[in-house]
A and B are shown apart, each in its own frame.
Chain A
């Protein structure tokens, strides 16, 4: 899973994909995950980081992460190439 190289991400969570011309907004935790993906962090590293920072549990994170990543792929912000 990688964030596409040409996708622009602002400090406030505004995302622009120049390939499709689509723009998106994401919430702070979404932005955090996108940044970690951009920095090539593994899913396990992301999980540890989120669980140490937020009041949540492993299964909730797992479920939400899966859904979020699927939406990143659906919206062509990320692809599953290594």
Chain B
């Protein structure tokens, strides 16, 4: 007799309670391939855990976002947010699609230059720009977004030394009716700080104020807040025009659009509740178009979206290390990936799918990572089929921030592959090795000898 596939015996208590119209969602539909590449093959070739990026999804998502804005507004430019995912291959996909770069450090700035982005297509944001960074950006005619007065005065000094007129914008923070209000970056609108900085820039006549920038928050679920922000930036632009007779070249609305992830504590799944690109575009473009600008004078609209463009293109493949039963009867499954490489599990309920066929029986589980640290919890509650040691899973929507915020802690960081448009995987970042980690460390000679 031919033997049949084994599944761990499970018994699940049926709880009756107050039902809601959405019911509960179980994640037992297996995901056996990504863009045509088999999950099992990817793991056997590149190891587990493994980050997988889908080039197809990046390009499609980018085109969707561009379409949402360009069908509503005549002048639109995206600038890829390097901090969201600054792997060179990923950045190059965005640059091939026409995206400029938006960077927030000298490290990111130089990465963009090395990727081949012309200096005048780099937007330099953030509170930390060293003298060397500023000199490089001024010489390259990059768009320098001034964050504070100390930076403004330093740029004025540098213009004298370099005999150049930098192209600058100021970052403006403001009350858009959402909480928390991000007031730590840039100059405040309501208190008059922003207008004061604009006057200083224009009246010192040492640099060209070409833009106004804001970034109102992150994972913004209220598109109307962007309309408020756009209106306030336009108000500043009109004041500049009426007082100094100058037109602003661009309005940079920053990023902060939500991805389809589910925030912890959310009642609805992210995919069902987050605004679409069209929702954001409608709010922003309507505010710009309904302003008093004539068609010819409309400023270029720059967007620095990161998370919403790349999150869904990222997958994390992993393997079950062990199952155990907790003292309260809950099932716990230990995976080979932890919060050290899946940083976003601190704030998202990541969707996790099995990578092989199962029956439709499920059990409630806790998903732990492999770290010997109590905080290493990937999902506190999830309903999954009974998995056994060696089974594989796919974690969804991990493309944003994980591969820049990941930590080398206890274990080393794994390989990243990108599946190209034809379904072929390419290794785009090698996993770290002990040799590489040790090459960065220096042990003083006198510590090298010891007897135990």
Tell me, in angstroms, the Cα distance from A30 to B3 when the chains sit together: 17
A25-B361, A60-B388, A70-B325 as given contacts; A75 in contact with B4, CB under 8 Å: no
B3 close to A27 (CB less than 8 A): no
A45-65 residues with Cβ-Cβ distance < 8 A to B are 52-56, 60, 64-65
A24 close to B6 (CB less than 8 A): no
Name the contact of A75 in the complex, choosing from B1, B11, B325, B388 (C-beta under 8 A). Answer: B11
Nearest Cβ distance between residue A35 and chain B, in whole angstroms? 12
A10-32 contact mask (Cβ, 8 Å, vs B): 1 or 0: 00000100000011111111100
Q: B361 contacts which chain A residues (CB < 8 A)?
A: 25-27
**Which interface class (under 10, 10 to 19, 20 to 34, 35 or more) fits A?**
20 to 34
- Closest A residue to B9 using CB positions: A30
Q: A77 contacts which chain B residues (CB < 8 A)?
A: 11
Nearest Cβ distance between residue A51 and chain B, in whole angstroms? 9
- In terms of DSSP, what is the predominant structure of the interface of chain B? loop
Nearest Cβ distance between residue A53 and chain B, in whole angstroms? 6
Tell me, in angstroms, the Cα distance from A81 to B14 when the chains sit together: 26
Name the contact of A27 in the complex, choosing from B1, B14, B323, B359 (C-beta under 8 A). Answer: B359
Q: Is A6 an interface residue (CB 8 A)?
A: no
Q: Is A71 an interface residue (CB 8 A)?
A: yes
Tell me, in angstroms, the Cα distance from A71 to B191 when the chains sit together: 63
Q: B12 contacts which chain A residues (CB < 8 A)?
A: 24-26
B1-40 contact mask (Cβ, 8 Å, vs A): 1 or 0: 1011111111111100000000000000000000000000
Nearest Cβ distance between residue A12 and chain B, in whole angstroms? 11
Q: Is B329 an interface residue (CB 8 A)?
A: yes
A15 close to B11 (CB less than 8 A): yes
B13 close to A33 (CB less than 8 A): no
B338-391 residues with Cβ-Cβ distance < 8 A to A are 359, 361, 386, 388
Q: A23 contacts which chain B residues (CB < 8 A)?
A: 13-14
Known: A27-B361, A27-B386, A67-B325. 4 other contacts (CB 8 A): A25-B12, A26-B9, A27-B10, A30-B9
Interface residues of B (CB under 8 A from A): 1, 3-14, 323, 325, 329, 359, 361, 386, 388
Closest 5 CB pairs of A and B: A27-B361, A30-B9, A56-B6, A54-B6, A68-B9
